Amino acid sequence: MIDINVDDYGEVIVLSIKGEFYIESIQYAESVWQQQLDKNPKVIGINCQGIKFIDSSAIGILVKFLNTAMSRSINLVFFDLSSTIINVFKTARLGNFFTIMGKEEFQQKYLS
């Protein structure tokens, strides 16, 4: 199961996901995601450092989040990926679709 911490900086929202992100976590993740969309942010950053495991269902929901963000002109950024998640994203070729950056780069670009 995962825990999602939300930091609201006005037009920028950061979701920090911790734990094992798998099919049983999807409903919770979608609920948190929808709550953030209701705030009409310009940027949603997903801090991936705390993700210990991710399955194909969770990757699918991240793709759904990207599609929703794009349709609402929200910049969705994945940052601070652990080496495990980097490997999963590379294997699934998600770097071709997702905006991925380091923690410092995200903070400088969106939070300073």
Can you tell me whether residue 105 is helix, strand or coil? helix
Can you tell me whether residue 75 is helix, strand or coil? strand
pLDDT tens digits along 51-67: 999 999 999 999 999 99
Q: What is the C-alpha separation between 68 and 71, in angstroms, rounded?
A: 5
Phi/psi of residue 77, nearest 5 degrees: -125, 130
**Percentage of residues in the chain having pLDDT higher than 90:** 84
Q: Tell me the pLDDT band of 46, cut-offs 50, 70 and 90.
A: very high
- Model-level pTM? 0.94
SS3 content of the chain, % helix, strand, coil (to 5): 45, 35, 20
> Are 85 and 54 within 8 A, CB to CB?
yes
Q: For position 79, what pLDDT does the model report?
A: 97
pLDDT tens digits along 88-110: 888 888 888 899 999 999 999 99
Tell the CATH topology of 2-110: Transcription Regulator spoIIAA (3.30.750)
Compare 45 and 112 and report the one with higher pLDDT: 45
Show the 3-state SS of 43-69.
Answer: EEEEEEEEEEEECHHHHHHHHHHHHHH
Query: Domain residue spans in the chain?
Result: 2-110
Compare 19 and 86 and report the one with higher pLDDT: 19
Burial of residue 79, with CB atoms counted within 10 A of its CB: 0-12 exposed, 13-18 middle, 19 or more buried: buried
Residue 34: pLDDT above 90?
yes
